[in-house]
Structure 1
Amino acid sequence: MRTSVWPVVFVCLLLTSGLGLAGLVTATPHPETESNGLTENETATLWSRDADEYVNETVYRQRYGESRTPIQQLANGTDITFTRPPATAATWTRNDFGDLSAGSTQTSVYPDHASLTSGRFIDDAHATFFGVHPSTRGHLEAGETPLYVAPNGSVRGFVDYRVRIPAGHHSNRSSVTWSLVDDEISEVRLKSDGDVISRSTGTHTPLLAYHLDETWSTTLTLEADIDVRLEKTTTVSVGNRTQTEVAYRTETITVADSLDVEVYNLHAYAYDAAYPNGDTGIAIFQSRPWQGYTLTEDGDARVRGVWRFYTARDPRWDRLTQATATDETEIHSEAHPVYVHAYPSRIGPRADPIRDGPTIIDSWGRERTSPHSTLPDTVAVEVVDRAYTPTYGLAVRTAELDRDALRVTGIVRDSNATPITSSVGRGPDRELRESRLTADVVTQTNEQATVHIELQDTETGTPIDLTADERQVSLNGESGGGYITIADQRVRTNESGVAVVSIDQPGVYTARYHPGTWLVANPAYVSDTATVRWHPLGTLNGWIGLLIEVGWQFIPFVVTFYAGKQVLRFFGPRDDSERYP
């Protein structure tokens, strides 16, 4: 980024803090000036796919004779990302769809990715998906970029064709001419795995509402029937008589386009526990990527997972082909569908408020590789560049919780749900117990010390055996359970609640108990710490060794001092008794 951008970036960061913008990295503005139901600032945030060619405000005013808002300036030099799936993509697509125009009877207009079908009289026919909303394209990892669609939404499509009218012929005694009587798109249908779920009368730009039941994934098919009726007139001259025969020819073809989607039914499950000090532990799981959850009615206390969002147009609609019987011309498209994209961010999970809000204590999910390669080169966002955990589960500790206000938000716009929990109305699932950790130096030499660690249930005094925890499996499928750390070592107590550790460097050490997650451990405990100090001078042998070592170190100084004293005595001045015998 050029240095001239930085003042603008700083100002816009302040201005956009309340808009749900998550991060700011490099992009250019879209050339369209129409609003399509959006404000100027909202329109400026749409175009993450565009190349990064920042134009400073002075040059822009000279070139276009107008000024830009701070957000427009920022979007000219950066990509803007969001903490929640924005509505701007669907709003733009809905309004820009009105600019999509079909060709004439003998001209077909289609994007390059359209699947063209031709018959005897119908040519270059197609039905192509333009937009499905609400939806979000997920970037999970290389080779996996599903399109998540809401269970209830709408599909916009584009249907066009041209009519091929056969050429007539004439001779001395006969002639054949063809003319178009009628042509139409008789019906448009939307199917889910082959079953019709919505239909409409024929139109070049169909809009179909859909409802998908409890379906995990499906193939949506946009289908259209095109009918053509032509008149064939044959004239035959026999002597002085002319015979005319009129016949009609019809043709019906069906064109279709298919789209694989994941139906985003948000069903989350919550589990909670009570901490001894009155805090509450909340863990929420969802089997697909989700945005986060709120803990209070006002939404101030909330948790976000690893997912962030950006919006970008579908570049396949940038150019269209206009085809006739004799020519094909590439034209600029007046309509651009825009989609929301979700990606795992390097920022990672976050809890708000930052200082005195919830504390994230654990997250779960099958580890995935970075989806960096699935994002276009022109999209510069803070996507993870290494293996990551997609936070299908998030657990927090919080002092603020309104169980009735607990709401989960998905990665598809307007996907919200109240998590299913067995504890609603009757308190937490589990109460966490306090633990007591002690650490003492039991033996020591000049070289090392042995530390005796003991872990007990504070209330009952029962030893806590962490080797039993070791046999548990965590929600990530790895070995789980609690453990104790001290002096860069990880240990577990035995069935007597005891662990022994050797340390070989003097110092002050803190032993810390890291309990296993309360979702797995039973009983479950909270953390505790203990401090132990060790230095060789703490023993009699240590003092004797120190004195011996110091003595050896001082021998050269003693010898030097004695030798110097003797030299001075020999060469130095003498008193009168020694001078005159």
Structure 2
Amino acid sequence: MRTPAWSVVFVCLLLTSGLAGLVTATPPRPGTEDNGLTENETATLWSRDADAYLNETAYRQRYGESRTPIQQLANGTDITFTRPPATAATWTRNDFRDLSAGNSQTSLYPDHASLTSGRFIDDAHATVFAVHPSTRGHLEAGETPLYVAPEGAIRGFVDYRVRIPDGHHSNRSSITWALVDDGISAVRLKSDDDVIVRTGGSHTPVLAYQLDDAWSTTLTLEADIDVRLKQTTTTTIGNRTQTEVAYRTETITVADSLDVEVYNLHASAYDAAYPNGDTGVAIFQSRPWQGYTLTEDGDSRVRGVWRFYTARDPRWDRLTQATATDETEIHSEALPVYVHAYPSRIGPRAEPIRDGPTILDSWGRERTSPHATLPETVSVEVVDRAYTPTYGLAVRTDNLDRDALSVSGIVRGVDATPITSTVSSGPDRELRESRLTAEVVSQTNEQATVHIELRDTATGSPIDLTADERHVSLNGESGGGYIAIADQRVRTNESGVAVVTIDQPGVYTARYHPGTWLVATPAYVSDTATVRWHPLGTLDGWVGLLIEVGWQFIPFVVVFYAGRQILRFFGLRDDSERYP
């Protein structure tokens, strides 16, 4: 198992201090539970807990032991992951063994259980504990689907209590009741209306499922509960006593349903060759996915917008223990933990950071921020505005092993080899070099006109970006390439020419931004051109400058002349006039 990458920094804890104790039904203190995870792994699970940091000095005084840096970090903030971790499923699988049902006179159930009662059976329920591998996706407000792997296991909790009728006694007769037998006779798992798994009775059933052909479905956990009681009726007639024995039975079916999205990963990949030998790769998948690797060792990879955290299902924090006379709330010994996926403000990333792939574009239907779907106690860098969920992601790389190209999903263990379509050798999406030129063709003191020309380097043919504009991008919006200069976007005409007017002196760089090679035919690589403009670059500019400077000096000349005249008027002479 690959070690998860921590996406938070420990230094932030040094800014926070305080005292906070652990209360009932909160995550266990590090080192107090053995659930198949290391202490550090266990500490990363609890993103729903209150991040009230207990500093290390106070912790040692209270518990007589120290914590690792990861444990301290998890006590003060939430730890996120770049890939769906296995820790949630491991914890849930092992912690589930601590879940125990009551006896025949006691029923245990969480608050969200759907209770059913009959004549002899009371407080009966079958409740889904967890399903794994799975990931709860936070797509936007009102949309938080649970994605489950096509093959996995669902864990449930079934319990009930037997209501034994009170006996009846009179002078001549009596009726008594006794429990003969009770139990769970069968457990089933349905996908919509089809039974896909059957198993024997159990209070804590584990049902392995396979949902290869489904896209979305409703998983229903069903259990049959049987009870058999003995009714003894004794009647006294004179000196004779008559006893009658009858057996009463009851069967109740209880169920719980869970709507899921079956996470089948089927990705399509497209690649093309750049003139310098680089490769363009674009991969599409119709659901959120984590990213893809470009090399066998996995060092060259691309991540989409999704990040992950783990959190318990707080509905299982406490259970109700019900008997015929009392209901008591108790601490639950088992806490299911789920992986959650959310769009991060960090956005798509390529690795290695310095010399790895270059992200060209991403596609997906724009969504609103899912910030409201996260509990207040979860502190992660979720986007706070509209975002693109990266259903498609294109990169440029000089390090591609097509045989090793692999896509990773947001559900742990669900990966895929994309269906690849190589377009570099075909004429439809040929990548070519472009040549961009820019020249000042006319100018005044106030503005200049720049003539921009874009041509195919190999053929010399003009590149018409107005025709390119008619292409539609993968987001359904107007697509195509454009030229950016002086905060303006322009497109060349059928002659490959565009004209731009600039009104501020300076050095300007025109840059050609090609349309994506997945849409444009043919497709080109970018190019740049530089142009300079200043009014002093013309004779008129210099004449205008001299006139402007002359006008600026007129007040000084007038003052100087007036001063000399005043001196003459008062009879003052300079040295040349006094001494001939």
1:135 aligns with 2:134: yes
Give the drift of 1:427. 9.5
Aligned match of 1:77: 76
How far apart are residue 19 of structure 1 and its match? Answer: 3.1
- 1-side partners of 2:44 and 2:408: how far apart? 22
Matched, 1:43 2:42: yes
Name the CA distance, whole Å, in 2 between partners of 1:521 and 1:457. Answer: 14
Counterpart of 2:41, as a letter, is E
User: 1:140-186: per-residue Cα shift (whole Å, max 9, x none)?
Assistant: 00000000000000010000000011111111111111101100100
Q: Specify the alignment match of 1:229 in structure 2.
A: 228
Deviation string, structure 1 residues 296-354 (Cα, Å, up to 9, x no partner): 11111100000000000000000100011111111100000000000000010000111
Q: Which amino acid aligns with 1:31?
A: P
Partner of 1:518: 517
Read off the aligned partner of 1:21 and give its amino acid letter. Answer: W
The corresponding residue for 2:177 is: 178
Aligned to 2:276: 277
CA contact (8 A) 1:272 1:429 kept: no
* Alignment partner, residue 198 of structure 1: 197
Distance in structure 2 (CA, Å) of the matches to 1:110 and 1:534: 79
The 2-side partners of 1:429 and 1:105 are apart by 72
8 Å CA contact 1:272–1:428 kept in 2: the answer is no
Match in the other structure for 1:21: 6
* Gap change, CA 1:379 and 1:574, over 3 Å in 2: closer
* Superposition map of 1:529-548 within 5 A: 529-548=528-547
Question: What are the residue-to-residue correspondences of 1:221-260 with 2, within 5 Å?
Answer: 221-260=220-259
Q: How does 1:350-389 map to 2 (within 5 A)?
A: 350-389=349-388
User: Could you tell me how far 1:77 is from its partner in structure 2?
Assistant: 0.5
Determine the C-alpha separation between the residues in 2 that align with 1:427 and 1:579: 98
Change (3 A) 1:271 1:322: same
* Counterpart in the other structure of 2:448: 449
CA contact (8 A) 2:231 2:248 kept: yes
1:528 is aligned to 527
- Give the whole-Å Cα distance in 2 for the aligned partners of 1:141 and 1:238: 76
1:147 aligns with 2:132: no
SS class of match (1:92): helix
1:347 is the counterpart of 2:346 = yes
**Structure 1 residue aligned with 2:28:** 31
Q: Which residue pairs with 2:572 in the alignment?
A: 571
Instruction: Give runs of aligned pairs for residues 94-173 of structure 1, distance below 5 A.
Output: 94-173=93-172
SS of 1:421's partner is strand
Number of aligned positions between the proteins: 563
How far does residue 536 in structure 1 lie from its aligned partner after superposition? 1.0
Give SS of 2:479's match: coil
Matched-pair contact (CA < 8 Å) for 1:279–1:397: yes
**TM-aligned CA deviation for residue 555 of structure 1:** 2.3
TM-superposition CA deviations, 1:389-424 (whole Å, max 9, x none): 000000000110000110000000011110111239
Letter in 2 for 1:485: A
1:560 deviates by: 3.6
Deviations 1:171-211 (A, max 9, x none): 11111111011001001000101111111110100000000
Report matched runs for 1:480-559 at 5 Å.
480-559=479-558
Report the CA distance between 1:41 and its aligned residue. 0.1
CA contact (8 A) 1:273 1:428 kept: no
Contact 1:180–1:231, Cα closer than 8 Å, also in 2: yes
How many angstroms apart in 2 are the aligned matches of 1:252 and 1:574? 132
| CA spacing shift, 1:429–1:301, aligned 2, 3 Å | farther
TM-superposed CA distance for 1:579, in Å, is: 6.8
CA distance in 2, matches of 1:426, 1:237: 102
**Residue deviations 1:194-240 (CA, integer Å, cap 9, x gap):** 11111111010000000002211000000000111111111111111
Does the 8 A contact of 2:429 with 2:518 survive in 1? no
CA contact (8 A) 2:433 2:458 kept: yes
- Percent of aligned pairs with the same amino acid: 84
For each residue in 1:264-285, what CA deviation from the matched residue of structure 2 results, as whole angstroms up to 9, or x when unmatched? 0001100111111111000000
Q: Report deviation, 1:381.
A: 0.5
Alignment of 1:438-477 (within 5 A): 438-477=437-476
User: In 1, Cα distance between the equivalents of 2:426 and 2:136?
Assistant: 38
Distance 1:179 1:344 in 2: 59
The one-letter amino acid of 2:246's match is A
In structure 1, how many angstroms separate the alpha carbons of the residues matched to 2:464 and 2:92?
60
The answer as to whether partners of 2:428 and 2:522 remain within 8 angstroms in 1 is no
Q: Distance in 1 between matches of 2:205 and 2:427?
A: 51
TM-score, length-normalised on structure 2? 0.94
Q: Which residue of 1 aligns with 2:328?
A: 329
Q: Is the 8 A contact 2:429 2:520 kept in 1?
A: no
Instruction: Measure the CA separation in 2 of the matches of 1:426 and 1:566.
Output: 88
| Structure 1: gaps (5+ residues) | 1-16
Contact 2:306/2:341 (8 A) holds in 1 = yes
Q: Which amino acid aligns with 2:533?
A: W
- Structure 2 gaps of 5+ residues are none
From the superposition, tell whether residues 282 and 579 of structure 1 become closer, same or farther in structure 2 (CA, over 3 Å): closer
Deviations 1:30-52 (A, max 9, x none): 23420300000000000000012
3-state SS, counterpart of residue 543 of structure 1:
helix
Cross-structure match for 1:394: 393
Deviations 1:471-528 (A, max 9, x none): 1111111110000111111110111111011111111111110000111100000000
Alpha-carbon distance in structure 1 between the residues aligned to 2:223 and 2:528: 70
Match of 1:217 in 2: 216
The 3 A distance-change label for structure 1 pair 272 and 327 is same
CA distance in 2, matches of 1:579, 1:337: 112
Q: CA deviation at 1:544?
A: 1.2
The answer (yes or no) to whether the contact 2:4–2:83 under 8 Å persists in 1 is no
Question: Cα 1:426–1:125, aligned 2, differ >3 Å: closer, same or farther?
Answer: farther
Counterpart CA distance in 2 for 1:396 and 1:18 is 26
Distance 1:243 1:72 in 2: 72
Who is 2:52 aligned against? 53
Structure 2 SS opposite 1:63: helix
Alpha-carbon distance between aligned partners in 2 of 1:573 and 1:129, rounded to the nearest angstrom: 110
SS where residue 7 of structure 2 aligns? strand
| 1:396 match: secondary structure | strand
Tell whether the 8 Å contact from 1:23 to 1:82 is kept in structure 2 after alignment: no
Q: Secondary structure of 1:442's match?
A: strand
Q: Is contact 1:360–1:397 with CA below 8 Å preserved after alignment?
A: yes
The TM-score normalised by the length of structure 1 is: 0.94
Going from structure 1 to structure 2, the CA distance change for 1:381 and 1:428 (only over 3 Å counts) comes to farther
Which whole-Å deviations, capped at 9, do the CAs of 1:38-67 have from their partners, x for residues lacking one?
000000000000012100000000011111
Given that 1:22 and 1:308 are in contact with CA atoms closer than 8 Å, whether structure 2 keeps it comes out as: no
Contact 1:41 1:72 (C-alpha < 8 Å) held by counterparts: yes
* 1:571 alignment partner, SS class: coil
Distance in 2 between residues matched to 1:537 and 1:428, nearest whole Å:
48
Q: Give the deviation of 1:564 after TM superposition.
A: 4.7
